[in-house]
């Protein structure tokens, strides 16, 4: 047995992976147990394997980050894959009909860095822009200071700031529904203000959008872990239960035997905890899910040369150009309206809307298409939920929690998941008498 303290981590999503890399880099002996045959959890990729296409690997959904995701970027750096994320300075907004506006930073320092491009945005009138600017000023003054932001919805906050329905729809909603994966009338205002404060106001480059240029699962491949021999990864290892003895976890059971360690981290989705650790006294009844739908389209010719764009006034919210303008991925966040629709109806809707933005779609032939409905994509960041998000320590001294739904300080995002993993790793080191810091500010 290793001399180093041992930690068993359950769940190979970003939370479990982040805890593993942090503890592995600090010399702890880590065993990571993942139920599925691949890593990444909700941020992963797999071979398409359809009748039309057996060679393509697709992401379960396009995942993007912003430069303000400092812990996620640190996690990629630790795995040696940060260079596989391409950062874009331009945000493209397209109206039905094809008129395109570009938002990017100019020469002025933060928080005025968008002034020039903001003034040129075509999809907002002068009055709209004055309204948005006033709203952003309020973000700057209220974020981190106002006490009731957790209790009110983002929509109520925007109405309090006299934002017009058009500005709410075309500006605030367009950014926030994708960032938080929830509608404005269901999102706690604190998260909305956080997105704009950290992503748009705090630093001039923090809005830059990072898109991995390899399939998501390649970011956590075997090669990436070669630097961390202390981390043993066991895929296809579903944990059945955390067994308790004398008020502590004594082992984890799996179909192929028991795992023992000094400390245990459960980095699982919230809905899985009840069966694996029923002794944990958590109030999870306030947690609900919000869905995301990804639509993958392969055309016989390029339909755009933009790398990505946000699409205004329609169901489809984002377009990502995955390959030469021919392989396009569309994303609809908080996609409850699509949940009951058939695959064929969703593809028909996507094509109808897409040709309003990209006329080349009318001439192009669709070779094939794939729809992924992630019903349990993220937790819904509703008002009054924060108090129910558990911290990483539990009432059981050698059992810790991680996952995007725990109290990471962020809504359900890759950054939130990594933060939760680092926080759990810090709590483990503290409990073992060798406290370490992993979390970046």
Ligand X SMILES: Cc1cc2nc3c(=O)[nH]c(=O)nc-3n(C[C@H](O)[C@H](O)[C@H](O)COP(=O)(O)OP(=O)(O)OC[C@H]3O[C@@H](n4cnc5c(N)ncnc54)[C@H](O)[C@@H]3O)c2cc1C
- The count of other CB atoms within 10 Å of the CB of residue 290 is 25
The footprint of ligand X on residues 215-254 (CB under 6 A) is: 238-239
Residue 403 binds ligand X, judged by CB under 6 A: yes
Selected binder of ligand X within 5, 11, 210, 325 (CB under 6 A): 11
* Choices 11-19, 133-141, 192-200, 301-309 (CB under 6 A): range interacting with ligand X: 11-19
Nearer to ligand X, 135 or 411 (CB): 411
| Cis previous bond, 362, omega within 30 | no
Residue 7 binds ligand X, judged by CB under 6 A: no
Q: Where are the alpha helices (DSSP H) in 153-272?
A: 154-160, 165-167, 174-180, 189-196, 222-225
The least CB distance from residue 308 to ligand X, in Å, is 11
Which of 174, 98, 99, 101 is CA-nearest to residue 357? 98
Residue 103 binds ligand X, judged by CB under 6 A: no
Nearer to ligand X, 79 or 167 (CB): 79
Between the CA atoms of 320, 324, 325 and 328, what dihedral angle is there, to the nearest 10 degrees? -40
The least CB distance from residue 216 to ligand X, in Å, is 9
The least CB distance from residue 69 to ligand X, in Å, is 7
The footprint of ligand X on residues 282-321 (CB under 6 A) is: 292, 294
DSSP string covering 102-142: EE---SSPTTSTTHHHHHH-SSS-HHHHHHHHHHHHHHHHH
Q: How far apart are CA 65 and CA 413, in angstroms?
A: 9
DSSP H or E segment with residue 399: strand 399-401
The footprint of ligand X on residues 30-69 (CB under 6 A) is: 33-36, 41-43, 60-61, 63-65
Q: How far apart are CA 32 and CA 30, in angstroms?
A: 6
The least CB distance from residue 76 to ligand X, in Å, is 12
* Contact track, ligand X, 257-286, x by CB under 6 A: ----------xxx--x---x----------
Nearer to ligand X, 135 or 403 (CB): 403
The least CB distance from residue 374 to ligand X, in Å, is 4
| Rg (alpha carbons) of the chain, rounded to whole number | 22
Q: How far apart are CA 327 and CA 238, in angstroms?
A: 35
The least CB distance from residue 362 to ligand X, in Å, is 28
The least CB distance from residue 2 to ligand X, in Å, is 22
Q: How far apart are CA 184 and CA 27, in angstroms?
A: 44
Between the CA atoms of 311, 316, 318 and 319, what dihedral angle is there, to the nearest 10 degrees? -90
**Which residues of the chain form contacts with ligand X (CB under 6 A)?**
10-16, 33-36, 41-43, 60-61, 63-65, 238-239, 267-269, 272, 276, 292, 294, 374, 377-378, 403-404, 412-417
């Amino acid at each position: 047995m290793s001399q180093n303290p041992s930690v068993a981590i359950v769940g190979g999503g970003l939370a479990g992976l982040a805890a593993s890399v942090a503890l592995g880099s600090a010399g702890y002996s880590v065993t990571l147990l993942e139920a599925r045959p691949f890593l990444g959890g909700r941020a992963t990729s797999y071979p398409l394997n359809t009748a039309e296409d057996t060679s393509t690997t697709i992401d379960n959904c396009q995942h993007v980050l912003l430069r303000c995701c400092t812990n996620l970027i640190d996690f990629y750096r630790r795995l040696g894959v940060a260079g596989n994320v391409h950062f874009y300075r331009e945000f493209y907004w397209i109206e039905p009909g094809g008129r395109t506006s570009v938002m990017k930073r100019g020469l002025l320092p933060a928080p005025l860095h968008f002034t020039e491009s903001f003034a040129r945005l075509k999809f907002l009138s002068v009055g709209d822009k004055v309204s948005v600017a006033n709203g952003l000023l309020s973000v700057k003054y209220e974020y981190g200071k106002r006490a009731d932001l957790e209790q009110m919805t983002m929509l109520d906050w925007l109405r309090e700031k006299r934002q017009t329905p058009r500005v709410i729809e075309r500006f605030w909603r367009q950014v926030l529904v994708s960032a938080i994966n929830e509608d404005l009338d269901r999102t706690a205002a604190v998260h909305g203000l956080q997105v704009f404060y950290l992503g748009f106001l705090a630093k001039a480059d923090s809005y830059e959008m990072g898109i991995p240029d390899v399939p998501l699962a390649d970011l956590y491949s075997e090669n990436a872990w070669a630097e961390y021999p202390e981390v043993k990864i066991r895929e296809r290892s579903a944990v059945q239960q955390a067994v308790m003895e004398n008020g502590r976890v004594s082992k984890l059971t799996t179909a192929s035997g028991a795992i023992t360690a000094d400390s245990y981290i459960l980095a699982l989705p919230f809905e899985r905890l009840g069966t694996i650790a029923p002794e944990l006294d958590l109030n999870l009844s306030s947690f609900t899910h919000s869905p995301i739908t990804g639509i993958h389209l392969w055309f016989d010719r390029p339909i755009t040369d933009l790398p990505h764009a946000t699409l205004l006034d329609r169901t489809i919210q984002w377009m990502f150009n995955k390959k030469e303008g021919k392989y396009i991925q569309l994303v609809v966040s908080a996609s409850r309206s699509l949940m009951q629709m058939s695959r064929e109806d969703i593809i028909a809707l996507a094509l109808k809307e897409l040709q309003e933005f990209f006329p080349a779609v009318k001439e192009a032939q669709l070779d094939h298409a794939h729809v992924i409905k992630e019903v349990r994509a993220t937790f819904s960041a509703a008002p009054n939920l924060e108090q129910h998000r558990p911290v990483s320590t539990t009432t059981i001294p050698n059992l810790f929690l991680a996952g995007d739904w725990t109290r990471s300080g962020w809504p359900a995002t890759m950054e939130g998941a990594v933060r939760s993993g680092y926080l759990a790793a810090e709590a483990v080191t503290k409990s073992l008498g060798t406290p370490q810091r992993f979390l970046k500010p």
